[in-house]
Amino acid sequence: DAMVIQNPRYQVTQFGKPVTLSCSQTLNHNVMYWYQQKSSQAPKLLFHYYDKDFNNEADTPDNFQSRRPNTSFCFLDIRSPGLGDAAMYLCATSRDRDEQFFGPGTRLTVL
Amino acid sequence: GEDVEQSLFLSVREGDSSVINCTYTDSSSTYLYWYKQEPGAGLQLLTYIFSNMDMKQDQRLTVLLNKKDKHLSLRIADTQTGDSAIYFCAEIKGSQGNLIFGKGTKLSVKP
């Protein structure tokens, strides 16, 4: 089945220790998104790639970076995680900035 | 307002209808979406409506759109315990086609 896959589902890291979250898709969609969702809040867009073009949201901290080495994969790198970065991280894809399909999310815990 | 607004909680009895309301912000939004999120999971697209429609029905789901008031609602007929989840309303906004979410309505279904 075509889908959006996120690994790992649960990630524990230490304060200040870099961490990478992974997203892959079999939908061959042009656009890949990363959202941060804190408890009881709406998902907040961090950035997205349209093909290889990177689009950063104005209020996304510099601590968050992303890479998209090919159409199928997109990574979220958190360079120095703080306690406030603990959240669910959701990856989504869309064919052309239209309907978005979400992965199951990675829950990040920062100790 | 600048935010997508939803009431935070709704409680219904099994078998009753549920109506979840949303007020969005951008009258030029082309598509409006309803997503469902079960505990610890990603977002599942339930249904969407194009802005030139005022109603869309899909099995137990009915979406009503009032463009003049920027009001969107989701009606779930014959609500089941499996419908218990958080429901997010979302609009497409801006030239980048970003999804802007409401804070979500937590639906509790009592047997």
- SS3 string of chain A? CCCEEEECCEEEECCCCCEEEEEEECCCCCEEEEEEECCCCCCEEEEEEECCEEEECCCCCCCEEEECCCCCEEEEEECCCCHHHCEEEEEEEECCCCCEEECCCEEEEEC
8 Å CB contact between B59 and B68: no
Residue B90 above 80 pLDDT?
A: yes
Whether residues B33 and A48 touch (CB distance < 8 A) is answered with: no
Provide the pLDDT for residue A1: 64
According to DSSP, the β-strands at B98-101 and B85-93 are antiparallel
Share of residues in chain A with pLDDT > 70 (%): 98
| Residues of chain A positioned with their CB less than 8 A from the CB of B104 | 40, 42
Residue B42 above 80 pLDDT?
A: yes
Ramachandran bin of A93, using left for φ above 0, alpha for ψ from -120 to 50, beta for the remaining angles: beta
Provide the pLDDT for residue B62: 97
C-alpha A106: how far from chain center: 8
Q: Which residue of B has its CA nearest to A55?
A: B96
What's the DSSP call for residue B83? G
Provide the pLDDT for residue B94: 73
Using a CB–CB cutoff of 8 Å, tell me whether A109 touches chain B.
no
Q: Which residue of A has its CA nearest to B29?
A: A98
Provide the pLDDT for residue A2: 62
Provide the pLDDT for residue A108: 97
| Residue A16 backbone dihedrals phi, psi, to 5 degrees | 85, -5
Residue A9 above 90 pLDDT?
A: yes
| Residues of chain B positioned with their CB less than 8 A from the CB of A101 | 45
Using a CB–CB cutoff of 8 Å, tell me whether A55 touches chain B.
yes
Provide the pLDDT for residue A54: 93
Residue B73 above 90 pLDDT?
A: yes
pLDDT in tens, A80-94: 999 999 999 999 999
Spatial distance between the Cα atoms of B109 and B111, rounded to a whole number of angstroms: 7
Residue B1 above 70 pLDDT?
A: no
Provide the pLDDT for residue B26: 82
Whether residues B42 and A102 touch (CB distance < 8 A) is answered with: yes
Residue A109 above 80 pLDDT?
A: yes
Nearest Cα to B108, choosing from B46, B6, B20, B32? B20
Whether residues A100 and B31 touch (CB distance < 8 A) is answered with: no
Provide the pLDDT for residue B2: 64
Whether residues A97 and B97 touch (CB distance < 8 A) is answered with: yes
Whether residues B42 and A90 touch (CB distance < 8 A) is answered with: yes
pLDDT in tens, A26-65: 999 999 999 999 988 889 999 999 999 999 998 999 999 9
